[in-house]
Amino acid sequence: MNFVRRRLGLVDAEEAEPPLAPLSEGAKARQEVLRTLLRTPACVGDAAYEELLAQVYVAAMSLAGVEACGHRDPCASWDAIGFQAAAPDREFRGGGMLGLHCLAFALEHRADACRAVIEGPFPFAAASINMTIVVARLAGVLEPEEGHLDPLGIRNFRVSESRARFLLESSSRGFFELHVAALEALERARRDVDAGPMDFAGCAAAARDEVAVLLAHEPRDVPSLRRLVAAVPRRAAGFLVVFGGGRGASRKWFTLSTGTLRWYAEADVHAHDARSAAVALDPGKPAGTLRLAPGTTVKFNQDVGSFSVYTPDGATALHALAADKSDMERWCVALTEHAALAEIDDALALARDVRATIASEPLDATFKVVETIGIYVRSAPDVAATRTGKALMPGDEVGICERRRLDDPSAGPRGRAFLKLKHDLGWEVETGLAAVMRACEMATMVRRGSMTKPDASPVTVADFAAQAIVLQALRDQFPKDVFIAEETSEALEERLVPETARAAQIVKVADLLRAIDLGSTGVDENGNSVSARRRWVLDPIDGTKGYLRGEQFCTALALTVDGVPVVSVLGCPNLDSGTYAVAVRGEGAFSFSPRGDTAWHQLRVSDARPGDPLRLVEGVSRLHSNHDWSEAAFSRLLREPPKPPIRLDSQAKALVIAQGKADCFIRLPSSGYVEKVWDAAPAALLVAEAGGLYTDRRGNPIDFGRGATLDPKVDGIIATTPHLHQPLVDALAATRACL
């Protein structure tokens, strides 16, 4: 944390850093392997080198959209992919075989990042090799005294190799992912300032700064690193009119990067091309510098397009006029994002120290924002930047769940108060919906190859592939969460493994099986819930028989916190023109159709009452529910003969209730059957947030925190409107004795 604070100017450069934990033996071994690759020269004719070089050539040519011949053939178009046409092997003189391995990994695993560099103005090979050296130096693989050229000034960075200890702990993949992050940072710097071919050094130095900040947060694994990369604030640059200092107004060039605002005299900037990256990133010696410390706030005047930056003690650090309101808003957002990097680091460092807590009290309050002061709501508090946040504007409402007072010498004996914002679950919804949509699209395209499980129920390639797709996507974004899902890799027949891997787009069989078995991390060997607050519950293909018939099925996902569903996502590809629904506890339920009406619509159950013309929805198979009992009970709510029931497979029935197209759902399984949590949790939240009730047949709430199964006492489930709920409970009790 001190490294980030020093980079942001919050501590003296001479202040000594506390010692970091040493590298583990495994990390040291991987570091030595990487160091050996770096020192191993690229030898033309060597079998391993030629094989890897050919792989790089074919992959890069494919990204460039150019037909590839043999990499040593006279027709080889190396220059089309950013290599020296006459001597591509010279590109690896600085990075050895490590540079080639980094290229191969990036092309295989992060094609989009490579495509962006190939299509940009910088030579692809040179860019990748330079970023290899940057990462090698910052991660301790390349020692400063090894004699390599250091055009980017990496030797001056005090980044300990221990910063990368977690990334190197289990495999070398962390190093290669860091190299990809450097390539992405290079492209981001180029895009932020619209750099040209001659601006590589400036953009590479900016990428070096960004990777150093990423490492300073000591990412614990590859998913943590990827989240950090996605959260890096954008740079900003441009002219502003500055007021104050007793000199009236003056026009200056400003740059904002890694939490530091610098400004330059207009005459000095015009001595260069103001459009060049050298000016936009660092045009020379600045006329002034402002490091954005914790507590820095930004206020703006929307009417005139001006804004002010205030120091933590309330002093005005900057008052500026932008070119227009749009430019003013751009600067306010950028300044707030960069200031939040320091603010969050400072607050988290304090909050992590349990001894610093003076008092804590729960709150359930909502405040309305009166004045915009650059506050950001964090939707990913373990990421030390605000790309994942959202700005609060005047009139917005903020939910508060806790007030915590922490010891802070600068705040006096009462300490410093923090209000903990209620989590808006936006990232969980976005990630879950994207994963469910991908699983549903896969399910509609693959061949419906099936097998029979020991309980005689059918299971398909799509079941296993959908589970792997959804759980892997969730694990990448929420590595600390656990999962409960229907399938296990043990049930997957060997003959179906290749087809399942293709459907899930997972190359290695071991990775496929591991992704499927993430669904067992939320339960112990007896199926009981493990100790964890957050659990994702998944039925990858709910309604497999309907899926095999080409009728209704769904992918059903829910997130439970302390046993209570808080997020639900249902994907029903065959309902209407394909319908996807999401629900968030306390926020409502919504649906849209990507192939029809793409607008989101709020879901509401019907306002039906006993005696109205009502519609029942139930399962297709009589083996899964007692239709005679449910229809007898339902008829007691009617004045006229009932309409034929809607019969659907899967939790699509809950969506029909939430849409108001049916009024009652009744499930009465055979005696002895114990309901599974994945068959009920997603549907329960969807119906509840649409204004309905989802209970057991006796009207009791359902506990979703027991593990893979519900309480055995839940021997029936109903979903209906508030007006029909109690009459339906009474009707079920009355008709049971008659059957």
Q: How far apart are CA 329 and CA 296, in angstroms?
A: 17
Phi then psi for residue 484, to 5 deg, are -125, 115
DSSP secondary structure of 637-694: T-SSPPPPPEE-SSTHHHHHHHHTS-SEEEE-PPTT---BGGGTHHHHHHHHHTT-EE
User: In 306-460, which ranges are continuous DSSP H helix?
Assistant: 325-352, 426-445
Two tokens at 502? Answer: 């293709």
Q: Residue 416, exposed/middle/buried by CB under 10 A (0-12, 13-18, 19+)?
A: middle
Q: How far is CA 293 from the centre of its chain?
A: 27
DSSP secondary structure of 263-278: EEEHHHHHTS-TTSHH
Helix (H, G, I), strand (E, B) or coil at 710: coil
* 67 annotated ligand-binding residue: no
The helices-and-strands tally (H runs, E runs) of the chain is 21, 26
- H or E element at residue 136: helix 124-138
Q: How far apart are CA 609 and CA 623, in angstroms?
A: 30
* 679 annotated ligand-binding residue: yes
Q: Would you please indicate which residues are annotated as catalytic (active-site) residues?
A: 463, 544
Two tokens at 691? Answer: 């204004």
* 118 annotated ligand-binding residue: no
Tell me which residue has tokens 């001595």: 271
Q: How far apart are CA 151 and CA 136, in angstroms?
A: 14
Q: How far apart are CA 519 and CA 463, in angstroms?
A: 12
Two tokens at 667? Answer: 């499930």
Other Cβ atoms closer than 10 A to 500: 27
* 486 annotated ligand-binding residue: yes
Contact (Cβ atoms closer than 8 angstroms) between residue 170 and residue 190: no
* 696 annotated ligand-binding residue: no
Closest CA to 659 of 715, 592, 599, 711: 592
Q: What is the CA radius of gyration of the chain?
A: 30
Q: How far apart are CA 428 and CA 29, in angstroms?
A: 37
Other Cβ atoms closer than 10 A to 607: 12
Contact (Cβ atoms closer than 8 angstroms) between residue 446 and residue 461: yes
**Those residues with Cβ within 8 angstroms of residue 730's Cβ, 6 or more apart along the chain or in another chain:** none
Largest interatomic CA distance in the chain: 95
- H or E element at residue 566: strand 564-572
Helix (H, G, I), strand (E, B) or coil at 528: strand
Q: Residue ranges for the binding site for Mg(2+)? A: 486, 539, 541-542, 679
